[in-house]
Structure 1
Amino acid sequence: MAPAPSYRLLAELEAAFDRLIESTEALLAAYERSPAEAWAFQAEASTAWLRRALLDFWYTDGQDGRATRSHVGLVAADESLLEKVAEVNAAKADFATHLARIRDTHPPLLAEAKAVLPFRHPQLHDHLRGSGLARLHLKQCWRAIPTAEAPVARVRLAWYSSGRSIKRLTVREVEQKLLTLDTDAPHVRIQLRKLAGLPESEPLAQVQTQAPLMRANLFFCEPLEDGRTRRAMNVALPLFLPAPRARLPDHNLPPAAPPQSRTRARRSDEKLEETPYLPSLRVYRYR
């Protein structure tokens, strides 16, 4: 008798999680054997530090479900170490694919997966004991390890704290989002009435303020095939840099914390009203 689809999906996810842990352990073992240089932001670069960073798969008590923790650092990597990183990232992508399949077809399985997966690896489950760690943070499992595609001459790290995600929506799309909320709640009914007063052709904007993050500006030793000489990328996990001589490139020491106020001027083309028109959805009207 064939297993039920839900059990098959969970079994496939468990196997993908096993591959993720095994490939990460292989990467850590290769790093421990490597003589390459490393640097960690506000920490001592070591195998223990890298293990904490790459196996930080947990929510802490009270952590915002949308937030992820960062572990900023630089690792000089030879070809064999970069291959291990590529294997981990492939396992992460495979794990994310299985998660998406469950989320699309059997969403209740996600809670069971968060409860079951840590017990498959005792060394991971031990992290939970007396550490204030609550449950598996799936996004922290599948986020990729950043790598540079070519040797780098220098790295400049800087806080980026002015980011906003702005999604353009139609009145009909916003209405559908409001209808997923508790439509018996007075504040939702008020917003539905406000929305009904807008012409259907009016565009709206949903805004999400992004948490401060560290950004790395990479300056390549030689131009890439497409002519690029530099690249900017966000680094929530240690950045692995191709380094045939096992040495880190020149890099700066960023401030310990992001700036308290906005450091970049507002874009001249910013056309949104100052206050949200529909607060529950962070939806704004254009000026």
Structure 2
Amino acid sequence: MPDTSRPLYRLLHELDERFDQLMASIEQAATLYEATLPSTWRFDGVNEPTWLRAALLDMWHQQHQDGRETRNYIALIAADEPLMTAFKEVNTAKHAISELLQRIKQSDPQALSDAKQRLPHRHPEVEHVLRQSGLARLHLKQCWRQLPIAEAPVARVRFAWYSSGRSIKRITVKEAEHKLMQLDTDAPHIRIQLSKLAGIPSSEPLAQVQNQAPLMRANLFFTEPLDDGHTRRALNIAMPLIVPAHEERLPHIKAPPLIPPAQRTRAKRRDEKLESEAFLPSLRVYRYR
């Protein structure tokens, strides 16, 4: 019998309850959406009633999926007050799970992995999806990512691809050496890189570069200034953007190109400080010029 007095057991039991609350809030929002069919714009041009339910329930890793990747649902929904409230309740449930998962991770990292395996089996609909499509494992980022909600009526929305290019993180020679030592140190190419690293000053800063996928960005222009005086907001969009229904119609929408730009058009000022060839290719580490 499990020791129900243990703090970790109580946390896992609370996670079960919060996951149930999330599923209930998704069911409520999806059912209300399908019953009212509010004005909706979708980036992919497809608009059938059950798409939102599928988007909100998409919280699982697919087979062979990179764990860093997420599946996006770019859309805009003009929600009346009841539907807006339902979407906010989904966000509240997502936030509650995110907060609790962080506490469980701090308490026992292995328990977090165990929890991800057992949560899907609490709901027949989810388990059916897993069996039918071969999905596996709870995708934490997709589980807790929030629905973007505009705080006031919006006159127009301009969607645009945001190609952030590359993220650049400074690391020390010691940190780079530690990362290389985690790889196969018997491999010739790793030994070569360790030798190169030993040949530079230990105080020299290095840059680790990570290519980033393009993001969809929504620029919101409000019908009236907000309390802080601003008339616009910019949001990264991975889930449907929810705006208050204004005369039961969508705001003016400027749609983005179907395909993101191959590369960013702005000058890569930080990139220009780096050498053109990777110093440690296995780590994507560059030297500064």
Whether the TM-score (by the shorter chain) exceeds 0.5 is yes
Higher alpha-carbon deviation: 179-188 or 45-54: 179-188
Deviation of the 1:263 alpha carbon: 4.3
Structure 1 pair 55/179, CA: closer, same or farther in 2 (3 Å)?
same
Amino acid across the alignment from 2:195: R
Aligned to 1:275: 277
Structure 1 pair 160/198, CA: closer, same or farther in 2 (3 Å)?
same
Higher alpha-carbon deviation: 162-171 or 58-67: 162-171
In structure 2, the residue corresponding to 1:108 is in which secondary structure? Answer: helix
Which residues of 2 match residues 127-206 of structure 1 at below 5 A? 127-183=129-185, 185-206=187-208
Q: Return the alpha-carbon distance in structure 2 between the equivalents of residues 269 and 4 of structure 1.
A: 50
Aligned to 1:258: 260
Q: Return the alpha-carbon distance in structure 2 between the equivalents of residues 13 and 163 of structure 1.
A: 37
The count of corresponding residues between Structure 1 and Structure 2 is 286
Structure 1 pair 149/31, CA: closer, same or farther in 2 (3 Å)?
same
Aligned to 1:226: 228
Structure 1 pair 43/113, CA: closer, same or farther in 2 (3 Å)?
farther
Q: What is the identity percentage for the equivalent residue pairs of Structure 1 and Structure 2? A: 58
Contact 1:162–1:264 under 8 Å retained in 2: no
Contact 1:95–1:142 under 8 Å retained in 2: yes
In structure 1, the residue corresponding to 2:100 is in which secondary structure? Answer: helix
Deviation of the 1:184 alpha carbon: 5.1
Q: Return the alpha-carbon distance in structure 1 between the equivalents of residues 180 and 109 of structure 2.
A: 21
Contact 1:76–1:246 under 8 Å retained in 2: yes
Q: Return the alpha-carbon distance in structure 2 between the equivalents of residues 104 and 2 of structure 1.
A: 19
Higher alpha-carbon deviation: 262-271 or 182-191: 182-191
Q: Return the alpha-carbon distance in structure 2 between the equivalents of residues 184 and 16 of structure 1.
A: 47
Unaligned runs of at least 5 residues, structure 1: none
Aligned to 2:20: 18
Higher alpha-carbon deviation: 97-106 or 64-73: 97-106
Q: Return the alpha-carbon distance in structure 2 between the equivalents of residues 235 and 71 of structure 1.
A: 8
In structure 2, the residue corresponding to 1:129 is in which secondary structure? Answer: helix
Q: Return the alpha-carbon distance in structure 2 between the equivalents of residues 119 and 26 of structure 1.
A: 20
Structure 1 pair 34/161, CA: closer, same or farther in 2 (3 Å)?
same
Contact 1:28–1:47 under 8 Å retained in 2: no
Q: Return the alpha-carbon distance in structure 2 between the equivalents of residues 93 and 186 of structure 1.
A: 47
Which residues of 2 match residues 34-73 of structure 1 at below 5 A? 34=36, 36-73=38-75
Amino acid across the alignment from 2:209: V
Deviation of the 1:76 alpha carbon: 0.4
Amino acid across the alignment from 1:145: L
Unaligned runs of at least 5 residues, structure 2: none
Contact 1:159–1:215 under 8 Å retained in 2: yes
Q: CA RMSD for the aligned pairs?
A: 2.3
In structure 2, the residue corresponding to 1:114 is in which secondary structure? Answer: helix
In structure 2, the residue corresponding to 1:214 is in which secondary structure? Answer: strand
Contact 2:4–2:10 under 8 Å retained in 1: no
Deviation of the 1:236 alpha carbon: 0.8
Deviation of the 1:70 alpha carbon: 0.6
Aligned to 1:98: 100
